[in-house]
Amino acid sequence: MRVLRIIFLLLSGLGLLALMSFAQSAERELPSAPSSTKQQSKPQPPPQPADPAPTQQQSAPSQADSSSPPPSTGQTDSQQPGESSPKSDKAPASAPATSPAKAAASTKSAEEDESATTIRTFVNEVNVVFTVTDKHGHYVRDLQKHDFKVLDDNRPAPEIRSFHTENDLPLQVGLLIDASNSVRDRFKFEQESAIEFLNQTVRPKYDKAFVVGFDATPEVTQDFTDNTEDLSHGVRDLRPGGGTAMYDAVYFACRDKLLNERKTQSGPVRRAIILLSDGDDNQSHVTREESIEMAQRAEVIVYTISTNVTGTRQRGDKVLERIADATGGRAFFPFQLTDVANAFAEIQDELRSQYALSYKPNEFRTDGRFHTIEILAASHKGLKIRSRRGYYAPSQ
């Protein structure tokens, strides 16, 4: 009997052990908790700063966001629009790379946004400032729109869109003074004449001017300002010496000063250069025609004052005449030093005695080439009209 009881107890213990082993095996085969599955299937967002401060980009995307480059393929799903991508060495390890399909979609979306905000238009009107004088050289200031007609590439313009007398437009004037050795003996007088011109022409808070002296290279001694005292100091700071790079100086003043200023100008202005030189260039890197082309592109009128006082026209005088004529300006040839001041006074008078019109060419083309302009006084004889010879059409 005792033996049977012992056998029964042994069998009961073995059964209990088998039952516990089966329970542990079943527990290992149970599925994971739902929250654990969700964390594995969906990437965790990058950790936020302990004290996040709202930024302008997070509250409302700026206009610059629409033109920013498309996001890289390393951008995380939790990244907000307008938020810069974290650097790779600081990115959370659990953040996976964006899939190629998603990156392509983001790139396409950014490109569509950029194209939607970029508007390119070509203005198909041409603006011209011009001067009218009678046979005695006196300015004619009382003409009307119907007194003129315009030829564009020798073809009549179908319509003059706007016309008005320009006697009070803001001026942007560049004063270019030859500081080479060839003008050393009369340099002081020319400086004083230029200072007087600036004092009488530049109106505070309305006009602006800058001063460039040139010998072998152009040097800005006073940048754009309406302060005539600063401009005077800029002229007096010039020192003669070296060769003559006149074409480089004209090219630089038109491209780097007046053309750049034109891009930031909100309203109409009159741009002019006063070039004081003997016209003898011996060190420029650009040619005469290249300097003229840059002046035409910047819509700059160039007035030249010759410093040649020999009493006869020299080769340099013809160069100065060519530059002035091609840009709608005027060349002055004072044979005495005292006449230099008179030339400045006549330029000042002309800048306040001009007309301006705009017209649409018969067939406006964005071909980038040079188109000629000729303005005629249709119903008046004996009048001389001086304007720029043409313009460069925009390129597509």
Q: Of 247, 308, 256, 316, give the one whose Cα is nearest residue 283.
A: 247
Do 357 and 343 fall into the same domain? no
Do 208 and 331 fall into the same domain? yes
- The answer to the question of residue 208 being in a domain is yes
- The answer to the question of residue 303 being in a domain is yes
Q: What is the pLDDT of residue 304?
A: 97
Do 281 and 333 fall into the same domain? yes
Phi, psi of 282 (to 5 degrees): -135, 5
Number of domains into which the chain is organized? 2
Chain center to CA of 281: 29
The parent domain of residue 206 ranges over 169-352
Could you list the pLDDT tens digit for every one of the 396 residues in the chain? 666 666 666 666 666 665 565 555 544 443 443 333 333 444 444 444 444 444 333 333 333 333 333 333 334 333 443 343 333 343 334 434 444 444 445 544 444 444 444 444 446 789 898 999 998 989 998 999 999 999 999 999 998 998 988 777 889 999 999 988 766 667 888 898 999 999 999 999 999 999 999 999 999 999 999 999 999 999 999 988 788 999 999 999 999 999 988 777 666 788 999 999 999 999 999 999 999 999 999 999 999 999 887 778 889 999 999 999 999 999 999 877 778 889 999 999 998 888 989 999 988 888 888 999 999 997 788 899 999 999 988 886
Do 326 and 280 fall into the same domain? yes
pTM of the predicted structure, to 2 decimals:
0.67
Angle between helices 315-327 and 288-297 (to 10 degrees): 20
Report how far residue 255's alpha carbon sits from residue 272's, in angstroms, rounded to the nearest whole number: 13
Do 278 and 392 fall into the same domain? no
- The answer to the question of residue 92 being in a domain is no
If one counts every other C-beta atom within 10 angstroms of the C-beta of residue 19, the result is 9
Q: What is the pLDDT of residue 310?
A: 78
Sign, Cα dihedral of 55, 56, 61, 67: negative
CATH number at residue 233: 3.40.50.410
What count of Cα atoms within 13 Å lies in the side-chain half-sphere of residue 110? 16
CA distances from residue 24 to 12, 31, 36, 187 in whole angstroms, order as listed: 19, 14, 21, 108
Q: What is the pLDDT of residue 51?
A: 45
Q: Are 254 and 295 in contact (CB under 8 A)?
A: yes
Do 221 and 342 fall into the same domain? yes
CATH number at residue 142: 2.60.40
- The answer to the question of residue 93 being in a domain is no
Do 342 and 362 fall into the same domain? no
Angle between helices 187-201 and 228-236 (to 10 degrees): 170
Do 196 and 305 fall into the same domain? yes
Phi, psi of 116 (to 5 degrees): -75, -25
129-160 b/e with 16+ CB inside 10 Å = b? bbbbbeeeeeebeebeeebbebebeeeebeeb
Q: What is the pLDDT of residue 302?
A: 97
Which class for 363: exposed (0-12), middle (13-18), buried (19 or more C-beta within 10 A)?
Answer: exposed
Residue type at position 334: P
What count of Cα atoms within 13 Å lies in the side-chain half-sphere of residue 82? 13
Which residues touch 137 (CB under 8 Å, ≥6 apart)? Answer: none
Helix/strand/coil (H/E/C) assignment for every residue in the chain: CHHHHHHHHHHHHHHHHHHHHHHHHHHHCCCCCHHHHHHHHCCCCCCCCCCCCCCHHHHCCCHHHHCCCCCCCCCCCCCCCCCCCCCHHHCCCCCCCCCHHHHHHHHHHHHHHHHHHCCCCCCCCEEEEEEEECCCCCECCCCCHHHEEEEECCEECCEEEEEEEECCCCEEEEEEEECCHHHHHHHHHHHHHHHHHHHHHCCCCCCEEEEEEECCCEEEEEEEECCHHHHHHHHHCCCCCCCCCHHHHHHHHHHHHHHHHHHHCCCCCEEEEEEEECCCCCCCCCCHHHHHHHHHHCCCEEEEEECCCCCCCCHHHHHHHHHHHHHCCCEECCCCCHHHHHHHHHHHHHHCCEEEEEEECCCCCCECCEEEEEEEECCCCCCEEEECCEEECCEC
- The answer to the question of residue 230 being in a domain is yes
Do 283 and 325 fall into the same domain? yes
Place of tokens 């004092």: 199
- The answer to the question of residue 251 being in a domain is yes
Residue type at position 11: L
Report how far residue 166's alpha carbon sits from residue 131's, in angstroms, rounded to the nearest whole number: 10
Do 174 and 281 fall into the same domain? yes
- The answer to the question of residue 160 being in a domain is yes
Q: What is the pLDDT of residue 74?
A: 39
Do 174 and 307 fall into the same domain? yes
- The answer to the question of residue 20 being in a domain is no
Do 152 and 277 fall into the same domain? no
